[in-house]
Structure 1
Amino acid sequence: MIQAGVFDKAMGSAQFLPDVVERQMNQSEFVLPIWEYLDIAASEERVRNGRTALRKRRELFIEIERRFGVEPEVVAAIWGLESGYGVNRGSVPILSALATLAWRGSRQAFFEDELVAALRILQSGHTTPEKMVGSWAGAMGHGQFMPSSFLNFAVDFDGDGRKNIWSNDPTDAVASIANYLSKHGWRRGQPWGYEVSLPEGFDYALVGMDQAHGALFWDDRGVRTVTGDRLPDYGVGSILLPAGARGVAVMLLRNAHALLRYNNAEAYVLGVGVLADRIGGHKGLVQPWPFDDRVLTRSEVREAQELLSDLGYSTQGVDGMRGPNTGRAVRAFQTDEGLVPDGYLSGTVLDLLREKGGAA
């Protein structure tokens, strides 16, 4: 229950923000190729700044790892991707943004719940309405927590009685990132994933997050590390082809699922993973990308989903997003057409769908 005084003080200055509605309704039509996204996510500058951040706050990150069991470079990578190590935390009034989206947005019930969560944060005294700022979508602080995530996973690591993820001091915020991963099953000492090489004749029906198998299973099917060695045994893993069979192949492990709970996008997992590896002194991905591939716009993905469904390959909805349902539909279509069934929705696949759809 939100107290009347808290509500009146918090919402008394809240305003409708038309720019927020416009940004939600008009998100970019164009999608970066995965290789360009990773160039940005794990840029030399971001790697360098991450290493500097770890050196500057070495004792803090050591204590965070001891308490939560999450490696410093992983926490730093999320911090770096979410806010540029605290430089870009956002300046939009969170209460106004959430109230706007709860009234006029496309996910009103979700943002209404987040608004109530934000009021609960204020009622608990962790910050003030004036200091509660962040992104237009309601994400806050160094780690860009939504209010509900704050209530569930934020920690008071410096012991001052407040869980202050908005402060210039990142102590509570980076500890909260580690707590979030820990609560979602992160295992210290295991990687998020690693790059692999697939053999000729590989069964691409085995690709995807719904295909999780142990190292011996993959070993029997000829999967190797990029150096040609047998796979290390870190438990079950799934193979991801972020740019299809012509691009990089990655084995995602248990810790990748913890990263997916932070941001449910495979590209984000790769961004955090590669950045963390590079901050820790390791190489990034080494296999070539298909730079000649045409990456589809959101409208083209929606068109492909409609064509697939019309041809009998259901994508379970049309949203312009490359999810697992779309991947399965694409793979079934590719199999029937004698293509490499990697489940990757490329320009070539869209052209063939248009041809088949026009003839249907």
Structure 2
Amino acid sequence: MKITCLAFSMALMTSAVAAQQSDPIDRFGACMKTLRAVASSKKGISTASFERLTSGLSPDLSVLEFLDYQPEFRSPIWDYLSGLVDEERVADGLEMRNKWADTLAMASERYQVDPATIVAVWGVESNYGRNFGSRPLLTSLGTLSCFGRRQAYFSGEFLSALKILDSGDIEPEQLVGSWAGAFGHTQFMPSTFLRLAVDGDGDGKRDLMGNVPDALASTANFLHKGGWREGQPWGYEVVLPAGFDSSVSGRREKRPLSYWTTRGVRRADGQPIAAADTAAGLLLPAGPEGPAFLVFRNFDVIYGYNAAESYALAIAHLADRIRGGKGFVTPWPTDDLGLSRLERRELQTLLLGRGHAIGEVDGMIGAKSRDAIKIEQQRLGMTADGRAGQKLLTSLRAGAAGR
């Protein structure tokens, strides 16, 4: 009998309520029984396959801590972009574009998406295959299916992950990724993999973990299916006239280009805005005092990869830089800019030098680094918010030089 999405959600809720007073292991076991009951009807996964793939699975409640901490929504835009679009990532992007030129050319021709954009997604999502994430997907998705919020969503991704493994595209021990279940070179969610992953090199498998051609072709297919318009820009930086009414801004509030030009909006690079009345929205990621952008349909397609405007801007800007473009003309409205990954590694080295046990120097400001930063900020008379900025780095440099 086919089980509807509503019935499936209700079954999960009933299981969670029934297990509310039990310990996590018991609750997880009850939840797995519910998922097993619907796996066949929703994904065509046999009971035998479900049991084989989930044998020994136990919850990892640490993933719940990440549900409400996503940097694209919590970090200032200048911090977020400083770490994602720095000189290091641009240089690596140029190297990867050259190394995989033939593969990118084939994907670009087949899906009508330019190589720089494909490479930029790769760079932002996994640092060109260097950072996949190391959490076993079934553990993370199984936990999120049974605990916390959005259980119905994550249970769908859990079943999709089982379907991938059952089909043999990826081996179980290889399927690791982010806390939320994204995996591979370009970090597809399992349901996205089932819909849009393609075999880029003709070996009969779709492998985003160990096969770069598959990952690049799948990313191009994702953007193509999302409505990518070949030969058109994602947008460009603009300059607003004094006293501009910013209430008309918004990515979704698209208006003809003539609307913006008659209100004094001009391109920051000095080029004329096209006369064609293409619809564009005005994006103000840091308000009217910061960089402003007119964005087109292709920006929305990038946004569809991960629904955050800061994320989409990072990919769009990195693609421009890989094509030879420069940084933004208008500065960010702050006196304490963010740090590049090179600078973050320097900051971590300075924190270690002051005796803070933060772990590896990797340029990733995690919980231990933030705790150490708070201690140093308090010592220096700064706001103890755990933020890694230029002022803190400058102060720690001066302290290290004077010791």
TM-score range, shorter chain: 0.7 to 0.9
> Which AA in structure 2 matches 1:12?
S
2:333 counterpart of 1:290: yes
SS at match of 2:326: coil
Q: Give the CA deviation at 1:28.
A: 7.1
Question: Is 1:219–1:230's contact at 8 Å kept on the other side of the alignment?
Answer: no
Question: Is 1:190–1:234's contact at 8 Å kept on the other side of the alignment?
Answer: no
> Residues 291 and 276 of structure 1: is their aligned pair in 2 closer, same or farther, counting only changes over 3 Å?
same
2:309 counterpart of 1:266: yes
Q: Give the CA deviation at 1:133.
A: 1.1
Question: Is 1:197–1:228's contact at 8 Å kept on the other side of the alignment?
Answer: no
2:256 counterpart of 1:244: no
SS at match of 2:231: coil
Q: Give the CA deviation at 1:198.
A: 1.1
SS at match of 1:209: strand
2:132 counterpart of 1:125: no
Count of residues paired in the alignment: 294
> Residues 229 and 54 of structure 1: is their aligned pair in 2 closer, same or farther, counting only changes over 3 Å?
closer
2:65 counterpart of 1:65: no
CA distance in 1, matches of 2:63, 2:230: 39
SS at match of 1:79: helix
> Residues 25 and 212 of structure 1: is their aligned pair in 2 closer, same or farther, counting only changes over 3 Å?
closer
Question: Is 2:71–2:80's contact at 8 Å kept on the other side of the alignment?
Answer: no
TM-score under structure 2 length normalisation: 0.70
CA distance in 1, matches of 2:299, 2:72: 27
Question: Is 1:6–1:122's contact at 8 Å kept on the other side of the alignment?
Answer: no
Q: 1:137 aligns with which of 153, 156, 180?
A: 180
Q: Give the CA deviation at 1:276.
A: 0.5
Q: 1:199 aligns with which of 216, 222, 241?
A: 241
* Larger gyration radius, structure 1 or structure 2: 2
CA distance in 2, matches of 1:92, 1:239: 38
CA distance in 1, matches of 2:215, 2:251: 30
Question: Is 2:237–2:292's contact at 8 Å kept on the other side of the alignment?
Answer: yes
CA distance in 2, matches of 1:84, 1:239: 29
> Residues 27 and 47 of structure 1: is their aligned pair in 2 closer, same or farther, counting only changes over 3 Å?
closer
Q: Which residue of 2 aligns with 1:50?
A: 93
> Residues 69 and 92 of structure 1: is their aligned pair in 2 closer, same or farther, counting only changes over 3 Å?
same
CA distance in 2, matches of 1:234, 1:182: 23
Q: Give the CA deviation at 1:31.
A: 3.1
Q: Which residue of 1 aligns with 2:250?
A: 208
Point out where structure 1 has 5 or more consecutive residues left out of the alignment. Answer: 296-360
> Residues 85 and 294 of structure 1: is their aligned pair in 2 closer, same or farther, counting only changes over 3 Å?
closer
Q: Give the CA deviation at 1:30.
A: 9.2
Q: How does 1:17-166 map to 2 (within 5 A)?
A: 17-24=60-67, 31-166=74-209
Percent of aligned pairs with the same residue? 45
> Which AA in structure 2 matches 1:213?
R
> Which AA in structure 2 matches 1:208?
G
Q: How does 1:306-325 map to 2 (within 5 A)?
A: none
Cα deviations by residue, 1:118-166 (Å, 9 ceiling, x for unpaired): 1111222211221111111100101111111111110011111111001
Q: Which moved more, 1:136-145 or 1:201-210?
A: 201-210
CA distance in 2, matches of 1:188, 1:33: 32
CA distance in 1, matches of 2:226, 2:73: 32
Q: Give the CA deviation at 1:214.
A: 1.6
Q: Which moved more, 1:212-221 or 1:183-192?
A: 212-221
Q: 2:221 aligns with which of 162, 172, 179?
A: 179
SS at match of 1:211: strand
Q: Which moved more, 1:198-207 or 1:286-295?
A: 286-295
> Residues 189 and 91 of structure 1: is their aligned pair in 2 closer, same or farther, counting only changes over 3 Å?
same
CA distance in 2, matches of 1:174, 1:62: 10
CA distance in 2, matches of 1:271, 1:26: 19
Q: Which residue of 1 aligns with 2:320?
A: 277
> Which AA in structure 2 matches 1:260?
Y
Give the superposed CA RMSD. Answer: 2.0
SS at match of 2:244: coil
CA distance in 2, matches of 1:19, 1:236: 44
Question: Is 1:185–1:258's contact at 8 Å kept on the other side of the alignment?
Answer: yes
Cα deviations by residue, 1:221-274 (Å, 9 ceiling, x for unpaired): 111111444312472110011111111111111100101110111101110011
Question: Is 2:169–2:205's contact at 8 Å kept on the other side of the alignment?
Answer: yes
